[in-house]
Structure formats: C-alpha cells, structure tokens
Structure 1
C-alpha cells in the first residue's frame, strides 16, 4: 500500500466519522418529541461556528501566503462588513405566535401545536442543509 492509498483511507475515515457524527445529532433531533428550541439553536450555532472557523483557518493560511498579510486581512474584514450589512436586511425570526383570536377560540391549543410542528420542520430542514452543505 503506497502513501497515496493511506492518505485516501485517512480522508475516507475522517469523512465517515464526520458523517456518522452528523447523523447521530440529526437522529437526536428527530427522535426528541419536545425539542428545546433554545438548546437546538445554541447547538446549531456552535456547530456552524466550528465549521466556519475550521474553514477559515484552512483558507486564511493559503490566502495570506498567496496575496500577502495586508491584502488577506483587508479582504477578510471587507467580507465581514459586507455580510454584516446583508444581515441587517434579513429580519430576525421570531417564535412568538401570531394570535388570530377567531382561530384560537375555535381550535383551542391546536394553533400552538401547529406552530411547534412548523418550527420543528424548519429546524430539521436547516440541520439537513447544514449537514449536506
């Protein structure tokens, strides 16, 4: 077995570990009947931050070596400012239910359950997108 074969096996092994870890986390979310949205949001934010920091550390080293320290940092902070501006145009999601008094009188607590199902689907969908992306 050559050097290239061992590197390929290590890469495949690490990819398998990452995929299995993601699957275990997704299984926890799907099987949990009453999700704590605050905890799910916290864990998802941590995972996204971890992935971004790993990507940044990998990309920043190559960028600084290719275009220089000053240009690499300037473009990095230009990107931070750009996404900060874009984030101001995107409204923050809210978990507060929009009350419709007629609907609440007819259906009782079903409106709250519908909202929980909708938010659960949104969290599951964003988790799948994070895992695939």
Structure 2
C-alpha cells in the first residue's frame, strides 16, 4: 500500500497542529478567567464524544471487516478485538509508568482554583498556593521541577496520540481531521498543567510557554516513528491491526483522560452536553462525507 507525498505531508501537519495545541493551554492559563473554564469542560466533552463515536462506529468496525477478509469470521473478529484491547493495555502501561505526582491525568486539586489566584509581580518573591490555603513561600526550584516533569509525562502520553492521528489521516482524511481536532482540545489542559508551575516558579511567561509548547513535540515524533515502522510493511492487514490498536488507544484516552478532565471544570453538565454534541457532529459529518 503506497501513499503520496501530499498525503504524508497533510498527516504530519495535522499531527503537528494537534501536538502544539498545548501552547494554547498555556495562553489560557495566563489570561482567562474562571468562568471561561465551562467552555473548556464542554470542549473536552466534545473531544471525548468525537473519539468514542469514531472509534466504536467507524474505526473498529472497519478493522473487523478487514480482519474477516483474511481469516474466518469468528477468528478474524477475535484477533481484531485482541488488537483493540491491546491498544487499551498499551495506553494503560504507559500511564502506569508515569509517577502520580507529575502525571497530568491523575486526580489533583482543581486547576481552575489555582489559576485565578493572584500571580507574582516583577521583582517580588514568588509565592505558591494550594486551593483553600493562604499564600506561602516554597522552594521555587521544586515547583519548576514539577512543571518540567509534568512536561515530560505529557510528552510520553502524547506519543501514541501522534501515531493515532497520523495513521488515521493517511487512511481517511476526514477521520484524521476529526481526531486531530479532538486531540488538540484534549491537549489544552495539559498545556495549562505544564505552564502554571513553571510560571509561578520563574515569573517568566515566555519560559512557561516554551516548555508547554515543547511538551507537544512528542506527537509529531510519534507520527514519524510510526511512519518508519509501519509504512514499509503497510498493507490491508497491517492497516487493520493498526486501526484496531488506534481505536483502543482513543477509547482509553477518552475514558481515562478526557472525561475526568472535563468533569474537573464541569458545571451544569457542560461536559455531558459536549459529549453528546461531539457524537452528533461526528455522526452527521460521517453521513455527509460517506453518503
């Protein structure tokens, strides 16, 4: 199976745009107000809706059909499901090896409460704060270290997401765009998680922004590594295996990362409305694109 240079470039560009949306999270952390986080909750729910719908209604069924072309019906279906759960297991293993204190997807204090606390002015000693506690002095080196390790943790998490976006874009551009948008929305709070501790440790927006943006580099790297590993042996069977694994990765991302993060900023069921709206938009777009 061969792909044109144009297809490869579009897939890489979509992956880069999705990865560097962590920088958007950094900007939101610096300038937005607490009320705006309801939009973030809706957006994360929307992202989960897109990923869940496209995984269960399009990508996994497509993989099942392709597997059945090579094997008998029940055996092919079993292999497809093993690859699907293998994608979930792979994502869970990656998540397991990230320390809890720097894992952006482990439950923590509400980030929105942290964000709206007063920031240090120039030449002032840098305070740190916990929700519900008075401002107090801390070791800014430790705070900066937290931001850096959070960036590394996010980079590791983003690696399989980049691979998923790239492969989906190659096979079906509409799938790729939908997944890239969903991943981009998902990366926004991750960018906030990186930039906030670094900003409060250094009082330097530029440095916090750079670290936040760099944490998204892993997604295009994941795409490039996937290209080198998969493209030389790409055929209908390897594409079916890849799609089943990608569906598992996206389901894990949705239930382990997107929905819990959406509930963190939730108010009046914003995340649920976003979830349903994301599914509806994906369903309608697939009907229009595949009449």
Q: Please, what TM-score do these two structures have when normalized by structure 1?
A: 0.47
Greater share of helix? 1
* Rg larger in structure: 1
Q: Please, what TM-score do these two structures have when normalized by structure 2?
A: 0.26
Q: Of the two structures, which has the highest relative contact order with CA contacts closer than 8 Å and spacing of 6 or more?
A: 2
